[in-house]
Structure 1
Amino acid sequence: MDDNGQHNEDDTVDTDSSDDDAIGPIEESEFVEYGIEDKPPLAESIFLGFQHYLTMIGATVAIPLALAGALGMLEAAPEQVGRLIGTFFIVSGIATLGQTILGNRYPIVQGGTFSMLAPALAIIGVLGTQGADWQTMLLYLQGAVIVAGLTEIVIGYTGVMGWIKQHMGPVVIAPVIALIGLSLFNAPQIVDPNFSAPGTGQNWWLLGLTLALIILFSQYLDQYSRAFRLFPVLLGISAAWIIATVLSVGGVFSADSTSFVDLGSVLSASLIQPVYPFQWGVPRFELAFAIGMIAGMLASVIESFGDYHSVARMAGRGAPSPRRIDYGIGMEGIGNTLAGVMGTGNGSTSYTENVGAIGITGVASRYVVQIGAIVMIIVGYLGPVGQLFATIPAPIIGGLYIVMFGQIAAVGLSQLKYVDLDNNRNVFIIGFALFSGLAVPAYMSNIGQGVDAGASTVFQQGLSQVALIGPILGSDVIATTLFVIGSTGMAVGGIVAFFLDNTIDGTREERGLAEWEKITEDDSEFQSFLQRWRSSDDETTPTGAD
């Protein structure tokens, strides 16, 4: 590849145009090193795939650890925590392969979702008052996730989201994507001094070191070495991680520090850990629990809708067609159902971090993401490797998050280039949606503050506050849905922007819909896996054959 970002004839990249199903009209995207259809050499792809997943590791480890703490596994069954983390890895790998092969075919990683963590904590809180043990709680969580997954399958493959897409333009999509990044500014790995151990405080120099290294490699040194351009995240995190490990072994970081690297947990982990369907037992089903989990799933659907557009934008492709969105959401439903069957206690959705990873590394290859998914499946069964990931200090993850989440917010705002920003209508809608997407979740998170209780009790406090709005809207089902969606910034901002953009007068040109249509692929441009298989089969059938 030359200095202008163009592939030279000598570059060993297999673009395999026969596999290209025309993922939207191609836009300018000079920083992209590998496009969606590109296939880097296998060895390079393994490192690139590992790096891609490394940017998601914060959520992949944080969610099972949060669940394990709420379930009481850390005290009652500490030997099972690594197995739970491994289950998340395996589900993430399988769901990612499903999405990139059978779903929307974007280079987008699938994994656990914070949107479904809130209702999970509420379910745990209710069962905890009944004296249920961790395994019983996990079985009820599995049942709720399975129901939510099946519901999402229906939403996807019946075309609901594709229909909504026809009424959404950049005035709606821009604040949704921007809020994905902005709403994560207070991630615990960034601002919570008690994330790892109460009272130990955030290690700002380790966070700053990670941040500085990633910026140095990706923005300043990228023009001097291809390695810096392709592996800024892997190099930055590895360097900071090694330094933290040395200081931990040397006794500079104590065991209760947020920066401590516990190598002992790696050495004590089982070499092979069994992970299989229904490993904790037969799932149990409760309607009220399922409703709460469905509310979390709906919030994640809105987030994924924005993720699809932002990944397409980062990869230099046009906006996804309604049909591609439907297949993507439908496949996420299958991933959710798989998560319930395997026993994560949480769902599966598109990782927002994926957008930032593409922006930082310039790698948008579907092949690379698939290689990374295979690596994650293997890692899920290897106890020491999975436990090694869990030793990455929170400040290092925080430094990574600052870079990625800022990139995501900027990608959202870049969608506004199609909109007439001299029109007060558009400025009002965008500003109001952004503010609502930050203010309403902040209010929801403040409900119950000062109560000496866990997150599940705070969640119940929130429901009681929402229930004050009336006998119908205040019912348990509606209150649960309102609270979960109201706690999700991109859901609030998206709903507000969608309503205003479709009710306040404005021409298609002012709203950016005319330009939007030009860069949006037609439904006919997206071929499902079955269609591609039939097409390739027809091409190989000899003339005159039956």
Structure 2
Amino acid sequence: MSGDDDFEEVEKDIAPEGPAVDPDAEASDFVEYGIEDKPPLGESALLGFQHYLTMIGASVAIPLALATAMGMPGQQVGRLIGTFFVVSGITTLAQTTIGNRYPIVQGGTFSMLAPALAIIGVLASNGAGWNLMIRELTGAVIVAGLVEVLIGYFGVMGALKRYVSPVVIAPTIALIGLSLFNAPQIVNPNFGGAGTGQNWWLLGLTLVLIVGFSQYLDKYHRTFRLYPVLLGMATAWIIAAALSVTGVYGPSSVSYVDLGSVASAPAVQPIYPLQWGMPEFTPAFVVGMIAGMLASAIESFGDYHAVARMAGKGAPSKKRINHGIGMEGLGNVFAAVMGTGNGSTSYTENVGAIGITGVASRYVVQIGAGVMIVAGYVGYVGQLFATIPAPIVGGLYIAMFGQIAAVGLSQLKFVDLDSNRNVFVVGFALFAGLAIPTYMGNVADGAAGFQQGMAQVPILGAVLGSEVVATTLFVIGSTGMAVGGIIAFFLDNTIEGTAEERGVTELAEMSEDESDFQSFFDRYRSSDAEERAPGAD
């Protein structure tokens, strides 16, 4: 075994009198605005809006997928999308203020979408209506969120940090990007419409614009460096809208911009707790949703390391990780109570935006969160977001997810790549993280079909074929970063290797001290103590 002892030895061996490590040195020429920076309000509003533009695909795709599966009436779909926006804004403010305080946008999670669709399928086969379906999802997500609260605030995720070397972190983060290569906005030419043409050129135009602004024109003016995503998507959207108005694109086209839907949207839409009714709690559904939550937590663990790396900061401490995961658990509970039928997690898209724009300001993300809250309640704004054509979202995804994959692989600079055990672990984890979810996606009848297959396993069939075990394995196996992360974690901690060889030595040197992170309650107690101190005003 090589994990706990190695990490502790490394921490002891780091000489306190040695030269101080400047975590910002490596990224100083890349980060335009660091975590603590506060750009002017107007600029922050645009930058924050841009951060949220990067995750609009997920914020619209997840509620649309749920609404379609449930058979939700058309007039309620816009309200569901608005609910996602409001929840995203509020949970982001909570995470950036009380949680891990990283500039990471919070919002709906694809990891919980898989068990949600499985739950909807079971209920649909029993003739349940959409209202009962969303109330069952609400109950399942509430329990899963409470479990994540315990995992976070009882220090479970933080305790695992000492066993997680760059050999584990690299494939986990890389798979966050790589596992999304087959997002329907990228690979399905007819996604979002009946398909009057593949419209590959609109996807390509969006990608060329974003790459051009961020990589080629950035040196000529800071506007191109700060707003490549906003400029790229806005330009492509204006072109698509013009072609739609002139009749080049019809309503059946994947690139059609339906401006009429914006005009007909309600000015203000009601969004409030338990808007769909009281939650229902079914044990089998709860277990499936907990599996989705665990996959989401593993992804967030990787996101924390990725955003710290992009922002030029040391690897997150145990305390910061625990507070982040705990707050995501509370975010899940809040999202469920508000009626999303889904949870809340760190948005990988937002992490990719930091890599493209160099804007890692917490303040910017908080301003953007305020914009999203307003957008959720104002029907026109939310519907305008929904008009962004799928090819434009696909072009954005290619630029961002590729950046995330590269950030993950950059962690390998800290390990010995001449070591066969390291190359084996990383390669195995990456391949399995792509292959196994693809296998799961091809299983006939999804989770139910997988359960039938597991029941046929000799000797263990009775256990593996149970609904609880099979559903849990199916959900985790369908999530690339969970598969790769678990495999890399197991192999790296069971195959013999030195701390230096595995990158543990350098990771320990780069990690922030536990005292570097002050929680909201720590800061509150400190300010209260200063006020009570003798001589204080």
| TM-score (structure 2 length as normaliser) | 0.94
User: What is the CA-CA distance between 1:538 and the residue it aligns to?
Assistant: 2.4
User: What is the CA-CA distance between 1:467 and the residue it aligns to?
Assistant: 3.6
Q: How does 1:307-326 map to 2 (within 5 A)?
A: 307-326=303-322
Alignment match, 1:409: 405
User: What is the CA-CA distance between 1:464 and the residue it aligns to?
Assistant: 2.4
- Asked if structure 2 preserves the Cα contact closer than 8 Å seen for 1:93 and 1:373, the reply is yes
Q: Report the Cα distance in structure 2 between the residues aligned to 1:545 and 1:411, rounded to whole angstroms.
A: 47
| CA 1:504–1:542: 2 relative to 1, 3 Å | closer
Q: Report the Cα distance in structure 1 between the residues aligned to 2:262 and 2:454, rounded to whole angstroms.
A: 44
Alignment match, 1:495: 486
- Asked if structure 2 preserves the Cα contact closer than 8 Å seen for 1:24 and 1:521, the reply is no
- Asked if structure 1 preserves the Cα contact closer than 8 Å seen for 2:195 and 2:252, the reply is no
Alignment match, 1:519: 510
Q: Report the Cα distance in structure 2 between the residues aligned to 1:202 and 1:39, rounded to whole angstroms.
A: 42
Alignment match, 1:260: 256
Q: Is residue 2:98 matched to residue 1:102?
A: yes
Alignment match, 1:14: none
Which amino acid is 1:460 matched to?
A: A
Matching residue within 418, 422, 429 for 1:426: 422
Question: Which whole-Å deviations, capped at 9, do the CAs of 1:489-540 have from their partners, x for residues lacking one?
Answer: 1001001100010001110000000001000112222111011111122234
Q: Report the Cα distance in structure 1 between the residues aligned to 2:70 and 2:485, rounded to whole angstroms.
A: 33
Q: How does 1:197-208 map to 2 (within 5 A)?
A: 197-208=193-204
Q: How does 1:139-538 map to 2 (within 5 A)?
A: 139-448=135-444, 457-469=445-457, 470-538=461-529
Q: Report the Cα distance in structure 2 between the residues aligned to 1:78 and 1:224, rounded to whole angstroms.
A: 46
Which amino acid is 1:411 matched to?
A: V
Task: Indicate the SS of the match to 1:538.
Answer: helix
Q: Report the Cα distance in structure 2 between the residues aligned to 1:305 and 1:467, rounded to whole angstroms.
A: 33
Q: Report the Cα distance in structure 1 between the residues aligned to 2:452 and 2:139, rounded to whole angstroms.
A: 25
Unaligned runs of 5+ in 1: 1-22, 449-456
User: What is the CA-CA distance between 1:545 and the residue it aligns to?
Assistant: 6.8
Alignment match, 2:4: none
Q: Report the Cα distance in structure 2 between the residues aligned to 1:381 and 1:257, rounded to whole angstroms.
A: 29
Q: Report the Cα distance in structure 2 between the residues aligned to 1:78 and 1:387, rounded to whole angstroms.
A: 13
Q: Report the Cα distance in structure 2 between the residues aligned to 1:191 and 1:414, rounded to whole angstroms.
A: 26
Task: Indicate the SS of the match to 2:133.
Answer: helix
| CA 1:151–1:24: 2 relative to 1, 3 Å | farther
Alignment match, 1:49: 48
Question: Which whole-Å deviations, capped at 9, do the CAs of 1:294-341 have from their partners, x for residues lacking one?
Answer: 000000010000000000000000100111101000000000000110
Which amino acid is 2:24 matched to?
A: I
Which shows bigger deviation, 196-205 or 436-445? 196-205
Q: Report the Cα distance in structure 2 between the residues aligned to 1:347 and 1:182, rounded to whole angstroms.
A: 22
Q: Report the Cα distance in structure 1 between the residues aligned to 2:456 and 2:510, rounded to whole angstroms.
A: 45
Q: Report the Cα distance in structure 2 between the residues aligned to 1:255 and 1:283, rounded to whole angstroms.
A: 37
Q: Report the Cα distance in structure 2 between the residues aligned to 1:485 and 1:278, rounded to whole angstroms.
A: 29
Q: Report the Cα distance in structure 2 between the residues aligned to 1:464 and 1:335, rounded to whole angstroms.
A: 34
Question: Which whole-Å deviations, capped at 9, do the CAs of 1:401-459 have from their partners, x for residues lacking one?
Answer: 000000000000000010000111101111111111011111111111xxxxxxxx433
- Asked if structure 1 preserves the Cα contact closer than 8 Å seen for 2:95 and 2:328, the reply is yes
Which amino acid is 1:346 matched to?
A: N
Question: Which whole-Å deviations, capped at 9, do the CAs of 1:145-190 have from their partners, x for residues lacking one?
Answer: 1011011001101110011111111000000000101111000000
Q: Report the Cα distance in structure 2 between the residues aligned to 1:315 and 1:201, rounded to whole angstroms.
A: 40
Unaligned runs of 5+ in 2: 1-20
- Asked if structure 1 preserves the Cα contact closer than 8 Å seen for 2:194 and 2:253, the reply is no
Matching residue within 114, 120, 140 for 1:118: 114
Q: Report the Cα distance in structure 2 between the residues aligned to 1:502 and 1:246, rounded to whole angstroms.
A: 56
- Asked if structure 2 preserves the Cα contact closer than 8 Å seen for 1:118 and 1:459, the reply is no
Which amino acid is 1:175 matched to?
A: P
- When the two chains are superposed, the root-mean-square deviation of aligned CA atoms in Å is 1.4
Question: Which whole-Å deviations, capped at 9, do the CAs of 1:49-81 have from their partners, x for residues lacking one?
Answer: 0000000000000000000100101xxx21111
- Asked if structure 1 preserves the Cα contact closer than 8 Å seen for 2:447 and 2:471, the reply is no
Q: Report the Cα distance in structure 2 between the residues aligned to 1:69 and 1:296, rounded to whole angstroms.
A: 20
Task: Indicate the SS of the match to 2:456.
Answer: helix
Which amino acid is 1:387 matched to?
A: Q
Q: Is residue 2:81 matched to residue 1:85?
A: yes
Q: Report the Cα distance in structure 1 between the residues aligned to 2:146 and 2:197, rounded to whole angstroms.
A: 42
- Asked if structure 2 preserves the Cα contact closer than 8 Å seen for 1:467 and 1:476, the reply is no
> How many residues are paired up?
513
Q: Report the Cα distance in structure 2 between the residues aligned to 1:239 and 1:213, rounded to whole angstroms.
A: 8
| TM-score (structure 1 length as normaliser) | 0.92
User: What is the CA-CA distance between 1:92 and the residue it aligns to?
Assistant: 0.4
Which amino acid is 1:68 matched to?
A: A
Q: Report the Cα distance in structure 2 between the residues aligned to 1:467 and 1:105, rounded to whole angstroms.
A: 45
Alignment match, 1:33: 32
- Asked if structure 2 preserves the Cα contact closer than 8 Å seen for 1:466 and 1:482, the reply is no
Which amino acid is 1:51 matched to?
A: Q
Task: Indicate the SS of the match to 2:121.
Answer: helix
User: What is the CA-CA distance between 1:198 and the residue it aligns to?
Assistant: 3.8
User: What is the CA-CA distance between 1:27 and the residue it aligns to?
Assistant: 4.3
Q: Report the Cα distance in structure 2 between the residues aligned to 1:542 and 1:516, rounded to whole angstroms.
A: 39
